Amino acid sequence: MAGLLDGVDQRTRLAGENRMELLLFTLGGKQKFGINVFKVQEVIHCPELTRVANGDQIISGITNIRGKTITVLDLAKAIGGKPVENIKDSYVIVTEFNKTVQGFLVTSVDRIVNMKWADIKAPPNGLGRDNFMTAVTQVDDELVEIIDVEKVLSKMLDVSTTLRNDLNNIAHAGNETIKVLVVDDSSVARNQIKRTLEQMGIDTMLAKNGREGLNLLKKMVEDGQPIKQKLDVIISDIEMPEMDGYSLTMEIRKHELLKDIPVILHTSLTGQFNSKMVEQVGADSFVPKFHADTLAEEVKSFIK
């Protein structure tokens, strides 16, 4: 399985084609779940785990992989299901999110499928705040639930959104209102960015994916006035259902009334290819998730 995960840069190119690869797995039942391969470093049989005294209930233990100690989370338990019973026969998906490496304990690993982002759909309305789905799709006529891993990790990691004093309320230095559009399929990520911008004195608009964000932008310029008169910056995730951040940026640059708006791509994707894609699609900068001060400084650089 680890051999299937080689070539991160090659896989990153798929995002530029509005495509992605999904690693399918199960959590003790027939329901299949998915995670973007970009975020997966390797998949291994579960090694021996050391229990953590007074640790979080969703933590199965810690282990050493290639000289690095990582925390292994019981993914089924983290999303409200029954914990994995037979740990020795289970697998660990080693992932990197927000500059941290962790493992997710899963019952079985199925395969990797190549998908169009257009076939990845937002989860049904009415699921409530407690659900951990960021998207759904169909593979071989079976429903696959794509997990909002950032929401899972927020239960364990303390991600600070508190800014340095010199970054607070900078938008209030002038007389005009500063407005930023945030496009991200993760509710946790959207709220983190929103809280960061609010401390700067910036108004925010939110969209759940690239398609929704593009439709919102087009609606804002129906009067024929350029978007720069109504919006200052766009912050977009890269991997999103229906339309990814690369494709969103390219659509913005092709539109006469949208093309001049600064676009910051904000993502936990890895791979050297990202910097090339940022330039190729016409984005203004690339900021790895999630560090409040770094994001704030980048936004500040685009505010007059």
For 71-102, how does the pLDDT look when each residue is reduced to its tens digit (9 = 90+)?
999 999 999 888 888 888 999 999 887 678 89
- Shared domain for 170 and 95, answered yes or no, is no
Instruction: Give the whole-angstrom CA distance, residue 20 versus residue 15.
Output: 6
Output the domain CATH number for residue 252: 3.40.50.2300
- Name which residue leads in pLDDT, 256 or 39: 256
pLDDT for 299: 94
- Name which residue leads in pLDDT, 5 or 304: 304
**Following DSSP, what letter does each residue of 131-148 receive, concatenated?**
--EEEEEEETTEEEEEE-
| pLDDT over 50 (residue 9) | no
- Shared domain for 292 and 177, answered yes or no, is yes
Q: Which amino acid is at 59?
A: I
At 47, the pLDDT band (50, 70, 90 cuts) reads: very high
| pLDDT over 80 (residue 176) | no
Taking only the tens place, the pLDDT of each residue in 58-77 is: 889 999 988 889 999 999 99
In a domain, 159, yes or no: no
| pLDDT over 50 (residue 270) | yes
Output the domain CATH number for residue 32: 2.40.50.180
pLDDT for 54: 67
- Shared domain for 142 and 191, answered yes or no, is no
In a domain, 45, yes or no: yes
What average pLDDT score do residues 184-191 get?
Answer: 89
- Shared domain for 140 and 6, answered yes or no, is yes
Contact between 245 and 210 under an 8 Å Cβ cutoff? The reply is yes
Structural domain for 75, as ranges: 2-154
Range name among 40-44, 111-115, 159-163, 192-196 with the lowest pLDDT average: 159-163
- Shared domain for 186 and 250, answered yes or no, is yes
282 Ramachandran zone, left/alpha/beta (phi>0; psi -120 to 50): left
pLDDT for 5: 46
For the chain, percent of residues with pLDDT exceeding 70: 87
- Shared domain for 49 and 76, answered yes or no, is yes
- Mapped onto helix, strand or coil, the DSSP state of residue 11 is helix
Contact between 150 and 94 under an 8 Å Cβ cutoff? The reply is no
Give the single-character DSSP code of 164.
P
